[in-house]
Structure 1
Amino acid sequence: MTDQMFVRPVRTRPIPEGARPLVSLKGLTKRFGKVLANDAITLDVYPGRIKALLGENGAGKSTMMSMLAGRYKPDEGWIEVDGEPVRFTSSKDAIRAGIGMVYQHFMLVDSMTVAENVLLGQEGSFFVSPREMEHRVGELAERYGLNIAPDAHICDLSMGERQLVEILKLLYRESRILIFDEPTAVLTPEETRNLFEALWRMTEQGKAIIFISHKLEEVIALADEIAILRRGRIEGELDPASIESKADLASRMVGKEVLLEVDRQPAEIGDKVLEVKNLTGLGLTGVDLDVRRGEIVALVGVAGNGQKALVEAVTGLIRPPQDTVFIMGKPWRKFFAESTWNRSMCYIPEDRLGLATLPNQNLVDNLLLTTRKGFAKGPWLDKKKAAKHTTRLIEKFDIRPGRIHALAWQLSGGNLQKAVLARELYREPKLIVAEQPTQGLDVSATEEVWNRLLETRAMAGVLLVTGDLNEALQLADRVAVIYRGRILGVLDNTDKDIARKVGPLMAGIVD
Structure 2
Amino acid sequence: MAGHIRIEGISKSFGMQQANRNVSLDIRAGRILALLGENGAGKSTLMSILAGTLTPDTGQILVDGLALPPGTPAASLAAGIGMVHQHFLLMEQLRVAQNVCLGLPGAFWLSPRRMATLVRDVGRRFGLEIDPTARVGALSMGERQRVEILKLLARDCSVLIFDEPTAVLTPGEASILADALCGMVAQGKAVVFISHKLPEIMALAARAPVDVAVLRQGEVVARYDLTQDTPSESELIRAMVGREVDLAQVAHLAAAAHPLGDEVLCCRGLQAPGLQGVSLTVRQGEIVALAGVAGNGQKPLVEVLAGVCPPEGGEVRLLDHSWQDFYSGEEPGRGLAVIPEDRRGAATAGNLDLLDNYLLTTRRRYTRGMLIDRRQALQDVRQLIEDFNVRPPEPATPGGRLSGGNLQKLVLGREFSRDPRLVVAEQPAQGLDVGATEDVWRRLLAMRARAGVLLVTSDLTEALLLADRILVLYAGRIMGEVRRGQDSEDARARIGRWMAGLA
Task: Report how far residue 503 of structure 1 moved.
Answer: 2.3
The amino acid across from 1:507 in the alignment is R
- Contact 2:349–2:357 (CA<8 Å) still a contact in 1? yes
How far residue 137 of structure 1 moved from its aligned partner, in angstroms, is 4.7
Change (3 A) 1:104 1:222: same
| 1:238 corresponding residue in structure 2 | 224
Q: Which residue of 2 aligns with 1:392?
A: 383
Partners of 1:409 and 1:112 in 2: how far apart? Answer: 32
Structure 1: segments with no counterpart, 5+ residues: 1-19
Residue of structure 2 aligned with 1:419, choices 399, 410, 432? 410
Q: Secondary structure in 2 aligned to 1:433?
A: strand
Paired with 1:421 and 1:148, the residues of 2 have a C-alpha distance of 39
Alignment of 1:184-203 (within 5 A): 184-203=166-185
Distance in 2 between the 1:287 and 1:162 partners? 26
Name the SS for the 2:327 alignment partner.
helix
Q: How many residues align?
A: 491
Q: Deviations over 1:245-276 (max 9, x none)?
A: 42333233333322223022333322111101
Cα distance change, pair 168–423 in 1 and its aligned pair in 2 (3 A): farther
Cα drift, residue 398 of structure 1: 0.9
1:289 deviation in Å?
Answer: 0.9
Q: Give the corresponding residue for 2:52.
A: 70
Residue 355 of structure 1 corresponds to: 346
1:205 to 169, 187, 200: 187
Q: What is the alpha-carbon distance in structure 2 between the residues aligned to residue 121 and residue 404 of structure 1?
A: 44
User: Amino acid of the residue matched to residue 469 of structure 1?
Assistant: L
Q: What TM-score results when the alignment is normalised by the length of structure 1? A: 0.84
Query: Cα 1:127–1:408, aligned 2, differ >3 Å: closer, same or farther?
Result: farther
Partner of 2:357: 366
Show the counterpart of 2:163.
181
Q: CA RMSD in A?
A: 3.3
Encode CA deviations 1:89-115: one digit per residue, 9 max, x unaligned.
Answer: 332232222211123444455666655
- SS class of match (1:184): helix
| C-alpha distance 503-205 of structure 1, shift in aligned 2 (>3 A) | closer
Q: Deviations over 1:328-368 (max 9, x none)?
A: 11222222223737742222223333433334544334334
1:15 aligned residue? none
Note the C-alpha offset of 1:409.
4.4
Aligned to 1:255: 242
Bigger shift: residues 454-463 or 374-383? 374-383
Native 8 Å contact 1:21 1:44 kept in 2: no
Identity %: 49
Q: Give the drift of 1:40.
A: 1.0
Alignment partners' CA distance in 1, 2:198 and 2:389: 22
* CA contact 2:384–2:413 (8 Å) conserved in 1: yes
Q: Deviations over 1:41-67 (max 9, x none)?
A: 111111111111111111111111121
1:385 deviates by 5.4
Residue 444 of structure 2 is aligned to residue 453 of structure 1: yes
- Specify the code of the residue in structure 2 equivalent to 1:213: S
Tell me, in whole angstroms, the C-alpha distance in 2 between the residues paired with 1:298 and 1:481: 8
Equivalent residue number for residue 297 of structure 1: 288
Q: Per the alignment, in what secondary structure is the counterpart of residue 72 of structure 1?
A: coil
Range moving further from structure 2, 329-338 or 368-377: 368-377
CA distance in 2 between partners of 1:164 and 1:384 (Å): 51
Deviations 1:310-344 (A, max 9, x none): 33333334332344211111222222223737742
SS where residue 40 of structure 1 aligns?
Answer: strand
Residues 476-485 or 450-459, more deviating: 476-485
| Matched AA of 1:398 | N
Shift of the 102–483 alpha-carbon distance from structure 1 to 2, 3 Å rule, reads closer
Distance in 1 (alpha carbons) for counterparts of 2:308 and 2:130 = 26
Report if aligned partners of 2:275, 2:300 keep a CA contact under 8 Å in 1.
Answer: yes
| Aligned partner letter, 2:237 | A
- Picking from 32, 38, 47, the partner of 1:50 is 32
> How big is the shift at 1:159?
5.1
- Structure 1 residues 105 and 457, CA, compared in 2 at 3 Å: closer, same or farther? same
Instruction: Report deviation, 1:238.
Output: 0.9
Equivalent-residue separation in structure 2 for 1:382 and 1:471 (angstroms): 38
**Is 2:481 the counterpart of 1:490?**
yes
> What is the distance in 1 between the residues matched to 2:496 and 2:337?
27
Distance 2:308 2:502 in 1: 31
Q: Structure 1 residue 209: deviation in Å?
A: 1.5
Give the TM-score of the pair, scaled to structure 2: 0.86
Amino acid corresponding to residue 481 of structure 2 in structure 1: V
Change (3 A) 1:111 1:455: farther
Structure-2 residue corresponding to 1:99: 81
Measure, in 2, the Cα distance between the counterparts of 1:113 and 1:420: 38
Moved more, 319-328 or 281-290: 281-290
Match of 1:17 in 2: none
2:41 is aligned, of 37, 56, 59, to 59
Residues 363 and 164 of structure 1, relative CA distance in 2, 3 Å threshold:
farther
The 3 A distance-change label for structure 1 pair 97 and 306 is same
Counterpart residue identity of residue 427, structure 1? R
Residues 336 and 423 in structure 2, CA contact (< 8 A), matched pair in contact too: yes
Question: Alignment partner for residue 464 of structure 2, among 456, 473, 479?
Answer: 473
Q: Which residue of 1 aligns with 2:494?
A: 504
Q: Do the aligned partners of 1:188 and 1:303 also contact (CA within 8 Å) in 2? A: no
- Contact kept? 2:272, 2:313, Cα under 8 Å: no
Structure 2: how far apart are the matches of 1:131 and 1:375?
Answer: 64
Alpha carbons of structure 1 residues 183 and 271: separation in structure 2 relative to 1, 3 Å: same
| Alignment correspondent of 1:9 | none
Number of the residue aligned with 2:424: 433
Write the letter of the residue equivalent to 1:239. Answer: D
Return the offset for 1:452. Answer: 0.6
1:345 matched to 2:336? The reply is: yes
Range that drifts further, 431-440 or 130-139: 130-139
CA distance in 2, matches of 1:470, 1:126: 45
1:228 match: 214
Paired residue for 2:12?
Answer: 30
Equivalent position amino acid for 1:93 in 2: A
> 5+ residue gaps in structure 2?
none
